[in-house]
Amino acid sequence: MNWSKIIECVPNFSEGRDLEKIDKIVAPFRGKSGVKLLDYSNDEDHNRLVVTLVGEPEALRDAVIEAIGIAVRLIDLNHHSGQHPRMGAVDVVPFIPIKNTTMEEAVALSKEVASRVAELYNLPVFLYEKSATAPHRENLASVRKGEFEGMAEKIRLPEWQPDFGPAERHPTAGTVAIGARMPLVAYNINLSTNNLEIATKIAKNIRHINGGLRYVKAMGVELKERNITQVSINMTDYTRTALYRAFELVRIAARRYGVTIVGSEIIGLVPMEALIDTASYYLGLENFSMQQVLEARIME
């Protein structure tokens, strides 16, 4: 990719089960000049699709707008259920500066996309994180609170008027949050219990809003097919709170319930530094740096 500027986008769509719909939503990201589809994963329990792509700003903008239109047409949240909170067919669209771009440029791109999707699809849009127009809109959890069902009333409140689009929930596609942010690591830890209450209590124990780890959001999720539960975590700044800290705190919290960790997973892509940092911790490496990673030196 010989691109002068690179921005990453990780749109989340509320469809994790219908493979035909998923393929149609992902299609605008394939075979496009200036855009590269890096990864996409769908989860049936969460009923959610997470796509990771990078591109030059204008090409990325056009592809994302096209995919949002397809999702608005195909997904009806009146008939949607899943473990993951959601307020829209396209639930959240974050832009992340990667190469030769600033956070300010990512914010500008997010606002341009927000304006266009509101105009094209009659979709209410909230700007969040670095793009937020007020402090109470920065946190995605605050914006999403009430989800699709509660948004019909919430969006009429003066403090929750959308930044773009009508002050009325779209009848089938709900609302969407669009913004710019730091790289996020979606990290899930699986537990040896099917008791959702335990997973939920552990999630509350580790997340920042309840006095836990800074830059950690978490919730308990039931994985019915596997007969286990999960602490589903968003690490919003892995450079300040490492993955291993979340893992160890979950392990400590689980012990009081006689529960163990049976595995963990990363959804989508993850920065190399986040994994190197964790490997360095468990190996007890002294004075180790990213400059000692072969692939990192090659890519310089």
Is the confidence at residue 267, as pLDDT, over 90? Answer: no
pLDDT (mean) for 224-230: 94
CA 96, 102, 103, 108 torsion-angle sign: negative
pLDDT digits (tens, 9 = 90+) for 183-209: 889 999 999 999 999 999 999 999 999
Mean pLDDT to the nearest integer, 93-116: 96
Element (H, E) at 196: helix 196-206
Measure the CA dihedral 7/142/148/128, to 10°.
-20
Q: Where are the beta strands (DSSP E) in the chain?
A: 6-9, 12-13, 35-43, 48-55, 90-99, 125-129, 176-180, 185-191, 216-223, 228-235, 261-267
Q: How far is CA 80 from CA 13, 60, 87, 91, 214, in A?
A: 12, 28, 11, 13, 32
Q: Is the pLDDT of residue 164 over 70?
A: yes
Just list the catalytic residues: 84
**Residue 15: predicted pLDDT:** 97
What is the tens place of the pLDDT at every residue in 26-50?
Answer: 999 998 999 999 999 998 988 999 9
Closest CA relative to residue 123, chosen from 83, 58, 180, 77: 77
Dihedrals phi, psi of 288, to nearest 5 degrees: -90, 145
pLDDT at res. 297: 84
Backbone angles phi, psi at 155, to 5 degrees: -70, -15
**Residue 213, Cα to own-chain centre: how many angstroms?**
18
284 SS3 class: coil
271 within 8 A of 183, measured Cβ to Cβ: yes
Task: Give pLDDT, residue 1.
Answer: 65
Per-residue pLDDT tens digits for 276-290: 999 999 999 999 988
Alpha carbon dihedral 101, 103, 109, 115, in 10-degree steps, equals: -170
CA distance 103 to 109: 10
Task: Return the half-sphere exposure (C-beta side, CA atoms, 13 A cut-off) of residue 95.
Answer: 33
**Is residue 56 pLDDT above 80, yes or no?**
yes
